[in-house]
Chain A
Amino acid sequence: MQSRATLFAFLGPAVIALALIGIAPLIYAGYTSLYFFKLTKMRDIEFIGMENYATVLTDPVFWEAMGRTFTMLVIALPLQISLGLGIALLLHRPGLGFLKTLTRLSLVLPMATTYAVVGLLGQVMFNLKYGVVNQLLGFIGIDPVNWIGDPFNAFVMIIFWDVWQWTPFVALVLLAGLTTVPDEIEEAARLETKSWWAILANIQLPFLVPGLVAVLILRTADTLKLFDMVFTLTRGGPGSATELISLMIQRVGFRGFDQGLASAQAIILLIITIVLAQLYIRLLYRNDQDGR
């Protein structure tokens, strides 16, 4: 009995905090999603069942925003993984101790920068006339690019910014994975072959799988809910070019004040995120276990 009380004493506060901060709002969102619930029409609140969900699922604007979000995900995530893996492999090589420590420290900087600040920085750096990016392009003879005002360029810009900010995170996670590879196995493999690919695929990759799964889940969830950086940088524009799903939900819920519809959109997004996370775990862990 005493040990149960101790357990509860340690875990209880965390469980209660989680329930209050995470689960209660979720239940409330589920509740409001079943109602006509507009902040500017509180007198007209009424139960409408699944109507909000039907509206969301048949709304082309919602699916366009979802499409944009997944387009960003399938471009940004592989870039982050490839670049992150490259950086991790470089840092894993022996030698240049001080330089590597410095690199590891500097890798933390983009991650430590607040999303909103990244967006505001982008507004200045990608400014057509005064931005440093166009100044640099000018040095190599490239005409100024209209980053923020052109739909395609704006989308490229937010992908670039996301890759800049989160590749270091992937690199550090994978670097941590590489340090778990036993030295003797890696050294033995290096005696067997000079092919870095063979070593990566057969020796290092199995140890990287848990980190990769974590990266995939976290980065997918982060991209699906990416808001601050895009909001401060482009506000979803020009037109709808960078209106990702989270921006759309915010627009419906907090600028159109339709909390019911926005809640239904958020619940659908949550379901998609959970399904994707489960898929990653099943596919990658099964492959990993099969491989072993």
Chain B
Amino acid sequence: MRLKSLCSSLALAASLGLGAGHASAQMGDWTLEKAAKPYAGTSIDVVFLLRPGYEAAEKMLPVFEEKTGIKVNIIKHPYENALGEQVRDFVAGGDFDIALIDLVWIGNFAENDWIVPIDKFTSNPDLKDPELDIDDFFPLVLNAFGGWDGKIYGLPFDNYSGLLFYNSCMLKDAGFDGPPKTWADLKDVYGPALTKDGKYAFALQSKRNETQSADSFARMLWPFGGSFLDAKFRSNLLSKESQMGLKFRQDLMKYMPEGIVAYDHSEAVNALAQGDVAMITEWSAFYSTLKDPETSKIGDCLAIAPEPMGPAGRKPALGGFSLAVTSQAGEKEQAAAWLFIQWVTSKANAQQYLDLGGVPARQSVYKVPGNAEKYDFIPALVESWQEGVPEFRPRFAEWPEITEIVQEWGTKIMLGDVTTEEGAKILGERMEAVLDKAGYYSGKKPLAQ
């Protein structure tokens, strides 16, 4: 079996090599149809989430399938199941040919060799689209979503930055011309003025899942100068800056709806969409939901700004997904998967993806005249992607364990079961125990996040 697969790999490699020489002679002739010809009839499996960017890609898919003859099987999962489904598939040597990678999973996937660096494909002229233009991706997004340890594995696909979505009519009625520039203003000026008559100034989604870690806990660390870890990978949660951020979150809760610890994205988005809260900080991906009159009743009152600044700067939340080819896929499936990834994230398709509700990471599409006016989240998004922090959440392989600890103790802090100091102390000890076991302190693993 191994011999057979080795022979077929060698044969394919030889044919690719021959093809490479041929293709490089005719670089200008590269088309998706020609590149995909050897893989027509190949089926590839990929996990998609139930979010707007994926619906956009699904609508674009028939064109790809028609051009290439490659069948793309989409397996849909809610975010919470996507990691587990993929990990089990990779461990069992399953069927997924494309990995969907949240930026905090990249270290895990890369260290386990579940995904293939893109240079395997970009070095093959038969497979590399001459228009790939890797430098057109926002550098922060490409490196954070698709890069690990100096190599690029995935191309950014479903791209988010935290933005301040607000109801400009509510703000205007309360006497404000624009959104708060700083977190301090949001709490001390806008908070009291907008929290009245059963309405609230702000909702910070804080449900006990990745939302608590990413959207709530981490969001309050970075702008205040805090972080999860210091340079030596020891807990930094008891630092003055981290504590300032966590205490700020506690103080801000009085301007949030009751039961905010049960709010996930859908509840926060819905609260703004129904006019129950005036402001939320949410991922750019929810723009289409908030703009759509069928899912939002605030209509033209919707306005968007970058997240407010803290004492340490803006440091907005950064999140998103890249697509990478899996190492478990056969050679043919790998090539077909790469062609799909390259196509769906391409410069040429970025406009259509944007028009259908996706958020591309291509710089060029945001420079197209008229786009910034048509999609009012663009200026804030572009600004945020200049100022984001790649390690907003650490991206190493231990994050799945650490996020569980953050979720538990982050929520306990919010509920007042423990003080910010007590919670940060326990959280830090448990986080360090995980990192110690992984070998970061003994020097077994490099301090990479």
Using a CB–CB cutoff of 8 Å, the interface residues on chain A facing chain B are 39-43, 128-129, 146, 148-151, 234-240, 251, 254-258
Contact = CB atoms under 8 A, between A and B. Distances in A.
Given A237-B207, A240-B408, A39 B415 contact: no
B195 to A, nearest CB: 15
B276 A256 contact: no
**Residue with the greatest number of chain A CB neighbours at <10 A, chosen from B84, B87, B259:** B259
B249 to A, nearest CB: 15
A239 B261 contact: yes
A257 B87 contact: yes
Interface in B27-51: none
23 contacts: A40-B87, A40-B108, A40-B112, A40-B397, A42-B91, A43-B112, A148-B262, A149-B258, A149-B262, A149-B263, A150-B259, A151-B415, A234-B262, A235-B207, A235-B208, A237-B262, A237-B411, A238-B411, A238-B415, A239-B415, A256-B400, A257-B400, A258-B401
Interface string B396-417: 0100110010001001100101
Contact of A236 (B208, B257, B401): B208
Interface string B103-129: 000001000100000000000000000
A234 B261 CA distance: 10
Contact of B412 (A40, A42, A239): A239
A255 B87 CA distance: 10
B412 A240 contact: yes
A150 B414 CA distance: 11
Interface in B319-336: none
A238 B91 contact: no
Closest 6 CB pairs of A and B: A149-B259, A237-B208, A149-B262, A238-B261, A148-B262, A239-B411
B84 A254 contact: yes
B259 A255 contact: no
B60 interface: no
Contacts of A146: 258-259
B371 interface: no
Interface in B244-280: 257-263, 276
Contact of B260 (A149, A255, A257): A149
B91 A39 contact: yes
A273 B81 CA distance: 29
A237 B209 CA distance: 9
Q: Is the interface of A mostly helix, strand, loop or mixed?
A: loop
Interface in B170-221: 207-209
A258 B417 CA distance: 27
Interface string B375-415: 00000000000000000000001001100100010011001
A237 B261 contact: yes
A59 to B, nearest CB: 11
Nearest to B112: A40
Contacts of A251: 404
**Residue with the greatest number of chain B CB neighbours at <10 A, chosen from A43, A148, A255:** A255
A235 B417 contact: no
A189 B257 CA distance: 60
A174 B360 CA distance: 61
Contacts of A257: 84, 87, 400-401
B88 interface: yes
Given A146-B258, A238-B259, 10 more contacts: A39-B88, A128-B257, A128-B258, A128-B259, A148-B262, A149-B258, A238-B262, A239-B208, A239-B415, A251-B404
Contacts of A239: 208, 261, 408, 411-412, 415, 417
Interface string B78-110: 000001100110010000000000000000100
Contacts of B112: 40-43
Nearest to B105: A40
Contacts of B397: 40-41
Contacts of A128: 257-259
B95 to A, nearest CB: 17
A254 B262 CA distance: 22
A42 B263 CA distance: 35
**Residue with the greatest number of chain B CB neighbours at <10 A, chosen from A39, A239, A240, A255:** A239
B272 to A, nearest CB: 14
B3 to A, nearest CB: 25
Contacts of A235: 207-209
Contacts of B83: 255
B429 to A, nearest CB: 13
Contacts of A254: 84
Given A150-B259, A239-B412, A256 B404 contact: yes
A238 B400 contact: no
A261 B400 CA distance: 15
A240 B87 CA distance: 25
A149 B416 CA distance: 13
**Residue with the greatest number of chain B CB neighbours at <10 A, chosen from A39, A42, A150, A151:** A39
A238 B207 CA distance: 8
B68 to A, nearest CB: 33
A258 B276 CA distance: 41
B448 to A, nearest CB: 16
Contacts of A256: 400-401, 404
B433 to A, nearest CB: 11
Nearest to B261: A238
A235 B263 CA distance: 12
Contacts of A237: 207-208, 261-262, 411
A40 B400 contact: yes
Contacts of B415: 151, 238-239
B418 to A, nearest CB: 9
A235 to B, nearest CB: 6
A150 B261 CA distance: 8
A147 to B, nearest CB: 8
A238 B253 CA distance: 15
B400 A148 contact: no
A221 B52 CA distance: 41
A39 B87 contact: yes
Nearest to A251: B404
Contacts of B400: 40, 255-257
A43 B114 CA distance: 13
Nearest to A252: B404
Contacts of A41: 112, 397
Nearest to A123: B262
Contacts of B258: 128, 146, 149
